[in-house]
Structure 1
Amino acid sequence: MGKVVLDMTMSVDGCIAAADGGPAGLHDWFFAPSPESQAIVEELQRNMGAMVMGRRTYDQGASQDGFVDNPFPVEHFVVSHSTPEQVAKGDTVFHFIPDVAEAVRRAQAVAGEREVIIGGGAQLAQQCLAAGLVDEIRLAVRPLVIGDGIKLFDDTALRLENVGVIDTPQATHLRFQILR
């Protein structure tokens, strides 16, 4: 079974979104990558077997037709207590599952030896960390200070081992294994 990886972009002050939930320029490195960042994007795409995301992240992407040209052509497991009347445009297969542990388990079954990526939503990330579902954390730290934004690590205590750092002009990419 492949690893479960929490993969997020954050500001230097620990925010993964602005206070209104907007991206605040955090993901520019991904959508307009430098050559160094492009290698990281390609590695993520090559190793990903499934994605788990929160409902708010899904709704934001769906409202902007963000799944039409989805750079992640894998099955997506959306943690949600309801299913939208109309699924987002595009070819992405979505599964709406109310329980975070069940969503990760089903994503692992689909991913096989490839990685399950937890991407999208501080609340979802915190639930996955609290439940001990994450093996590795990957953070793309952007040279931005957002201030009053949504923090990734509120009330989360973890022991981590540094397993890699990649510095690019657009972000510093940190990789940590979670120690149990």
Structure 2
Amino acid sequence: MALIYSATTSLDGFMAGPGGDMSWLTEHLGGEDEVADRVLARTGALLVGRVTFDGDDPNAGTAAEGAFGGEYDGPAVVLTHRPPADPVAGVEFVTDLTTAVARARELAGDRDVNVLGADVAMQCLEAGLLDEILVLVAPVLLGEGTRMFPRRPGGRVRLEPLPGETAHWYRIVS
């Protein structure tokens, strides 16, 4: 079971436009995507940052709302310093990274944990907890917004392509 950060990004490295706008992604969603289907089939739990959890879903109000275009139906752990007062069905709110990752792994069982959100993914990378990175590149330049990697990880991070996978699916090796 791996901790995977998978994200669709613009060619210039932005996951969201200004103000967290995800509407740009709508025209790039839908249709068959074998890589996304494989990731979804392997995913047993989500580890989500609070900004992403509260964020703009390009499919809001449609049958495709939610993770993986509404196809994901499973547990989620949200890493946050601001847990809500009222519970949310199928979602656990955790205030520290180590506990959040451990809980997500536990919920995932023998399947993968998929990380959603640039900041929580960066925290996992910096803590040495992230195993893989999958980048899906949309043919668009956004120019500004939320970067896939919001800051430098504090040193070089070596990656190696995963054999038999897309050209942008990597194992973290250091």
> What TM-score range do you get, normalising by the shorter chain?
0.7 to 0.9
Give the gaps of 5 or more residues in structure 2: none
Taking a change above 3 Å as real, the CA distance of residues 61 and 11 of structure 1, as seen in their structure-2 partners, is closer
1:24, distance to aligned residue in structure 2 (A):
4.4
Give the gaps of 5 or more residues in structure 1: 167-172
Tell me the residue number matched to 1:169: none
User: 1:162 & 1:174 partners in 2: Cα distance?
Assistant: 7
**Are the counterparts in 2 of residues 48 and 116 from structure 1 also a CA contact under 8 Å?**
yes
Find out whether 1:99 has 2:90 as its counterpart.
no
Q: TM-score normalised to the size of structure 1? A: 0.80
User: 1:128 & 1:178 partners in 2: Cα distance?
Assistant: 12
Q: TM-score normalised to the size of structure 2? A: 0.83
Tell me the residue number matched to 2:168: 174
Find out whether 1:123 has 2:122 as its counterpart.
no
Tell me the residue number matched to 1:161: 160
DSSP-derived class of the 1:20 partner: helix
DSSP-derived class of the 2:100 partner: helix
Tell me the residue number matched to 1:26: 25
User: 1:146 & 1:57 partners in 2: Cα distance?
Assistant: 18
User: 1:12 & 1:103 partners in 2: Cα distance?
Assistant: 30
User: 1:72 & 1:87 partners in 2: Cα distance?
Assistant: 20
Tell me the residue number matched to 1:110: 107
Taking a change above 3 Å as real, the CA distance of residues 111 and 165 of structure 1, as seen in their structure-2 partners, is closer
User: 2:135 & 2:26 partners in 1: Cα distance?
Assistant: 12
DSSP-derived class of the 1:141 partner: strand
Question: What is the count of residue pairs matched by the alignment?
Answer: 164
* Aligned with residue 51 of structure 2, among 21, 32, 56: 56
User: 2:143 & 2:56 partners in 1: Cα distance?
Assistant: 24
1:102, distance to aligned residue in structure 2 (A):
1.2
**Are the counterparts in 1 of residues 8 and 135 from structure 2 also a CA contact under 8 Å?**
yes
User: 1:5 & 1:136 partners in 2: Cα distance?
Assistant: 5
Taking a change above 3 Å as real, the CA distance of residues 115 and 96 of structure 1, as seen in their structure-2 partners, is same
Find out whether 1:150 has 2:149 as its counterpart.
no
Task: Give the CA RMSD over aligned residues.
Answer: 2.4
Find out whether 1:78 has 2:78 as its counterpart.
yes
DSSP-derived class of the 2:35 partner: helix
**Are the counterparts in 1 of residues 77 and 94 from structure 2 also a CA contact under 8 Å?**
yes
